[in-house]
Structure 1
Amino acid sequence: MAQSISINTRHGRISGYQAKPHVSPRGAIILVHEIFGVNHYIRAQADRFANYGYVTVAPALFDRVHPGTELGYDDEAVAKGRAIAEELGFNGALDGVRGAYDLLEAEHRVAVIGYCWGGSVAYLANTRLGLPSVSYYGGRTVPLLGERPKAPLLLHFGEDDPIIPPEDVQKHRDALPDAEIHVWPGAGHGFDCNQRADYNAEVSQQALQRTLLFLQKNLR
């Protein structure tokens, strides 16, 4: 079952998309969107994780500064999304994540999964909020590596990602010796998103299996 919801944050209400499983939940996921907002891809991801047994909430973090943002993947959308993300800032994003957590934590153990910009938000949800987190190609995390993880952490990178070169991946390995880090051969930036040119169905499925194992272990 999926529906639009309202989420209370410390700076007002934002919208969100919630998908619930048809079985007893295994736990809950806060799904953090890319710079493109809660669009078709993010809603589909929420539905997918719900099908695996997790109550999934995708908060519309951009609502705080630009309500209703839902973008595609062309150059104009990238420029607009980057500008909105900059305007919101990581602190504003975490405010929305915290609101989603407050909605879920009474009934479920909660993890955070984020993509691209959202992957870096997921990292901060770990270091600042203490939540188990999965980051897919979090390209803005290098400047944040001085912040130490407070919960289990899984990081996915594409071996052929021009935005996150091998030296940046190595910085993650050096700074995060206890994190689980996977670098996927033949994968570029956004390999999980079927709306992007770099979508890699095989790697997406492999990364999903790693993510589900992480959730099974850390939300028991």
Structure 2
Amino acid sequence: MGEMIDLTATDGHKFAAYKAVPAGAPKGGVVIVQEIFGVNSHIREVCDGYAKDGFIAIAPALFDRIEPEITLGYQPDDVQQGLKYRMQVSDEDALKDIDAAAKAISDAGEITVIGYCWGGSLAYLSACRLTSINKAVGYYGGQVAQHIAEAPKVPVLLHFGDTDASIPMTAVEEVKAKRPDIPVYVYEAGHGFNCDQRGSYDAASAKLALERTLEFIG
């Protein structure tokens, strides 16, 4: 449904992005921010899903700052490799690529950053630091609590799982306490519950989270 396009960040870095467009006039635009597994088949499917729901969707390949076309699956070896890649891309550089992606679809209307896992944390930082977006949605972002003292400049929505082994509920409660203005939803699910390629996939939670996200972004 979509296609790979080329973008350039403000520092001159050239990178790829997957872009999917709706059949009719767009309701807005969404920047889909990857997990630690690259712009793989799941992230492309997420983009396609938002395009079917009426949004222009674009997913910047954040790992292109290491090398092009890094895509991983969800096996233990993939997780370890993804973690290594993630540590090689700074938040600042990732935000430059997210910013470029947002600007590339700015004519779609309101732009929302929607991120998963690592991307969930970057979605929160996007809300705090980027002027090119209007809203942000984070799914199970492990570093959100770490950055919660930084105030978002645009509306934010957050999704977490109550059995997420990598994000303790104490961190979620900290987010709620320090940012009571941010809607925080907690599901009976684990990390990665939105991804139907993972063993932790929870269809009911993914469906409800998507419904809430679509309502939030309008």
Q: What range describes the TM-score normalised by the shorter chain of this pair?
A: over 0.9
- 2:88 equivalent in structure 1: 87
- 2:205 equivalent in structure 1: 203
Q: Deviations over 1:184-203 (max 9, x none)?
A: 12x11100001111100111
- 2:111 equivalent in structure 1: 110
Q: Give SS of 1:88's match.
A: coil
Q: 1:41-190 alignment to 2 at 5 Å?
A: 41-130=42-131, 131=133, 132-185=135-188, 187-190=189-192
Once the 2 structures are TM-superposed, how far is the Cα of residue 42 of structure 1 from its aligned partner? Answer: 0.2
Gap regions ≥5 residues in structure 2: none
**Identical pairs, percent:** 40
Q: Which whole-Å CA distance do the structure 2 matches of 1:39 and 1:87 have between them?
A: 18
Gap regions ≥5 residues in structure 1: none
- 2:8 equivalent in structure 1: 8
Q: Give SS of 1:22's match.
A: coil
* Cα contact 2:192–2:198 (8 A) shared by 1: yes
* Cα contact 1:65–1:87 (8 A) shared by 2: yes
Once the 2 structures are TM-superposed, how far is the Cα of residue 107 of structure 1 from its aligned partner? Answer: 4.1
Q: Deviations over 1:2-25 (max 9, x none)?
A: 111111112321001000000110
Which amino acid counterpart does residue 28 of structure 1 have in structure 2? G
Stretch deviating more after TM superposition (139-148 or 26-35): 139-148
Q: Which whole-Å CA distance do the structure 2 matches of 1:129 and 1:176 have between them?
A: 19
Q: Deviations over 1:57-86 (max 9, x none)?
A: 001011012221100111211111111111
Q: Which whole-Å CA distance do the structure 2 matches of 1:30 and 1:189 have between them?
A: 21
Which amino acid counterpart does residue 136 of structure 2 have in structure 1? S
Which amino acid counterpart does residue 149 of structure 1 have in structure 2? P
* Cα contact 2:56–2:108 (8 A) shared by 1: no
Q: What is the root-mean-square deviation in Å for CA atoms of aligned residues?
A: 1.0
* Cα contact 1:66–1:84 (8 A) shared by 2: no
TM-score relative to the length of structure 2: 0.96
Deviation above 4 Å: which 4+ runs of structure 1?
none
Q: Which whole-Å CA distance do the structure 2 matches of 1:7 and 1:108 have between them?
A: 19
Which amino acid counterpart does residue 190 of structure 2 have in structure 1? G
Q: Deviations over 1:145-184 (max 9, x none)?
A: 1110111100000111111111010011012111011001
